Amino acid sequence: MTHPNAVLTASLMLAIASGCDQGHGSLAGDYLEVADCARPGEITRIEPFELDLQFLSVQATLGVTVMRMSPDAALANLADQVGISITKAAELKLATEASQRTFELRADGTGEAELTLALMKRCRYASASLVAVGTITFKDWGWRGGQRVRGSMAFDLVDRRTGALVGTNFTGDFDFESKTGSPYTPFAPINY
């Protein structure tokens, strides 16, 4: 016989799990070479590279919007993640209402947006700053509660410290429903 509390606990867990689905994204590349991934002083080659994205967090501060996509809502220092920084969020909102907006990504930080990859879960010793050279396209930028954040990306990865190419032919897409409150946004969204 099943204990009544076990049934209640299972029901609550199902409700919480289904209520937390905010969408999906993915990132894949031919390969990725990460310095100091498993051990300091060694290079680990991940071939092919794949990252499933189930969580999106967005923060806006002083005109800069920072997005973090990761496999789950783990703390940033414990998760593999894609980080995207955009300084023209107001322009992005207007552009996506009309059609879509593509941003250029450059390794030296002079692009229209910046995309970084951090492997804090699978590469605990990694010291390289992995930054994208390519593009990211937004098709929807409705990041207030219940709206969609949707787009695609295509880039190569370089180590910002050395300029060396460390990964090629990365492509990805994302389609998330915006949710507000912790852990999605630690602030009240600004109405761009």
Domain spans of the chain? 22-177
Per-residue pLDDT of the chain (192 residues; tens, 9 = 90+): 444 333 322 222 222 333 357 899 999 999 999 988 888 888 999 999 999 999 998 877 777 888 899 998 888 888 899 999 988 776 777 666 778 889 999 998 888 899 999 999 998 788 778 999 999 999 988 767 778 899 999 999 999 988 999 999 999 999 998 776 666 665 544 444
For the record, the structure tokens of 108 come out as 């030296």
DSSP the chain: ---HHHHHHHHHHHHHHHHT--EEEEEEESEEEEETSSSTT-EEEESSEEEEE-EEEEEEETTEEEEEEESSS--GGGSEEEEEEES-HHHHHHHHHHS-EEEEE-TTS-SSEEEEEEETTT-TT----EEEEEEEEEEEE--STT-EEEEEEEEEEEETTT--EEEEEEEEEEEEE---BTTTBSSPPP--
| 13 vs 27: CA distance, rounded Å | 28
For residue 29, the model assigns a pLDDT of: 98
Task: Label the pairing between strands 130-141 and 148-159.
Answer: antiparallel
Cβ burial, residue 80 (10 Å; 0-12/13-18/19+): buried
What is the longest distance spanned by two Cα atoms in the chain? 64
Spatial CA neighbour of 92 closest among 102, 84, 82: 102
- Identify the pLDDT of residue 184: 64
- Report the candidate in 157, 52, 51 with the shortest Cα–Cα distance to residue 114: 157
Task: Specify the pLDDT at position 65.
Answer: 83
